[in-house]
Amino acid sequence: MSGPAADGEGADGPPPSGDTGGGAPPSDDTDGDGSAAADARNRRLWTVAIFLMMACTGAVMQVRGAVLPTLGGYFTVPEWQLGLVAPAGTAGYLLVILVVGSSAGRVDARRFIAGGAFLTAGALIAMGLAPSFPVFLGALVVQGAAVGVFRALDRPLLSHFYPNQRGRVYNRYDATWAVGAALGPLAVVLALRAGSWRLVYGAVGVGVLALAVVFRSLRAPAVESNEEPLTRAGLAELVRRPEVLALLAALFFVTGVEGGLFTWLPYYARAELPAGWAELTLTAMLVAYIPGRFACGALTDRLGPLTLLMGVLGLLVPAFAFTFFVAEGPVVLAGVVVIGLLVSGVFPTMMAYATDAVPEHSGPVNALASAVSSISVGGVPALMGVVVGGADAATAMRLLLVPVVAALGVVSLARVAEGRRLASETGGSTAVDD
């Protein structure tokens, strides 16, 4: 990943040439302090801009689910075609994030992130202007690909900005996604009251355009640790690491559940809750993501990521079962809030766990995790659309309990394997000492 050398202003660059006129030589300490302060300020600006872009990404994703019923009526399309919205958003994203993420150690992060933001803004505006459903889906494919460029590099940058605080920073980073995601459905409601669903895509597109200008104006980021390029052989070895395998398996199950909830929860709630409450379910769940992720960020360092995740998923199973098998009426809304609180920290905590194991390859780890997640986030809602069309939304929601239980099993196995590795390392160290 390109660092300060990209613009010649890094803290590790060559010192200025000496003064041949006999004056006092410049103070290396003063220059070093000034350069370090400038790098720290630039790093903070990058962090703020990345967090704001992440909030916009969350808003766009949840707008997609909240606007689904309106799109069906506006474009007059059947439910199975509405189920294509989620996979269309991930089709371009999947390929781009794999290609760019695996090359994170070789690309110019500043140019790629700014370019991805500009393209995202253009695609969002095109979605708001789409004259037909196929055009809307096409613009959505482009928007997903553009976001893939940004998402391939933003988390690795944060990993190298804050190498000793990944769990806390990742959870805060994803908490800003939750802030935007919670505001997304509300933005749809306001846009509909103002006259058209198109307004929300135009507004978010303008916001992303402003952030693209900010990224373009910032200095190339200076990082505290370096990303190492990865060969094909190295990629195969990376995927075989137990931490990465656990990450990919757990995220496949959990993000599929999240994708199903994001897309179909308002649809399901229309049959379960009083009129006017359905739109609140998704917002309530996403609002719960915010304290949930901040809490996981604070607890990760104290408990360890796997111990924390076993507790979270162990509570999520009964909460999920109660909400979709037992609860009725407004109690469903309370159950959805608990689900949001618990499921919110799984993705960032698992990401921090795997990245800590191979910090020099945070880009490929992020790319692999995002690719697997995008397949699951796009595929599960599409399958649920088939179930909804053949049965009902309640049946589709209840089936999501299966991947929740599977994710708990994966994390439990990872925790057991970690315990055995630690015991083996301790035993080996003791033998050497003896």
Which domains does the chain carry?
39-228+238-429 (1.20.1250.20)
Which residue from 312, 365, 310, 362 is spatially nearest to 340, judged by alpha carbons?
A: 312
Query: Which residue type occupies 46?
Result: W
Q: Say what the pTM is.
A: 0.76
**pLDDT reported for residue 234:** 78
Evaluate whether 352 touches 305 at the Cβ level (below 8 Å).
yes
Q: Tally the C-alpha atoms within 13 A of residue 64's C-alpha that lie toward its C-beta.
A: 33
Task: Round to whole Å and give the CA distance between 253 and 345.
Answer: 14
Q: Token digits for 198?
A: 């198109």
pLDDT in single tens digits along all 434 residues of the chain: 544 333 333 333 333 333 434 444 555 555 556 677 888 888 899 999 999 999 999 899 878 877 888 888 888 888 778 878 877 877 778 888 888 887 777 778 889 999 999 999 999 999 999 999 999 999 999 999 999 999 888 988 898 888 888 888 998 999 998 899 888 888 998 999 998 999 999 999 999 999 999 999 999 877 655 666 667 777 788 888 999 999 999 999 999 999 899 888 888 888 888 767 777 888 888 889 999 999 998 898 888 899 999 999 999 999 999 999 998 888 999 999 999 999 999 999 999 899 888 888 888 898 889 889 888 887 898 899 889 888 888 999 999 999 999 999 999 999 998 888 777 777 655 544 54
User: What is the C-alpha separation between 41 and 37, in angstroms, rounded?
Assistant: 6
Predicted local distance difference test score (pLDDT) of residue 267: 85
pLDDT in tens, 93-141: 888 888 888 777 777 888 999 999 999 999 999 999 999 999 999 999 9
Residue 379, phi then psi, degrees to nearest 5: -75, -45
**What pLDDT score does 16 carry?**
38
The span from the CA of 115 to the CA of 169, in Å, is 24
Which residues fall within 8 angstroms of residue 2, CB to CB, at 6 or more apart? Answer: 107, 108, 109, 110, 220
Rounded distance between C-alpha atoms, residue 308 and residue 158, angstroms: 22
Per-residue buried b or exposed e for 397-413, using 16+ beta carbons within 10 Å of the residue's own CB: bebbbebbebbbebbee
d(CA 107, CA 122): 23
- String of DSSP letters for 186-222: HHHHHHHHHT-THHHHHHHHHHHHHHHHHHHHSPPPP
Ramachandran region, residue 317 (left: φ > 0; alpha: ψ -120 to 50; beta: rest):
alpha
Helix/strand/coil for 241: coil
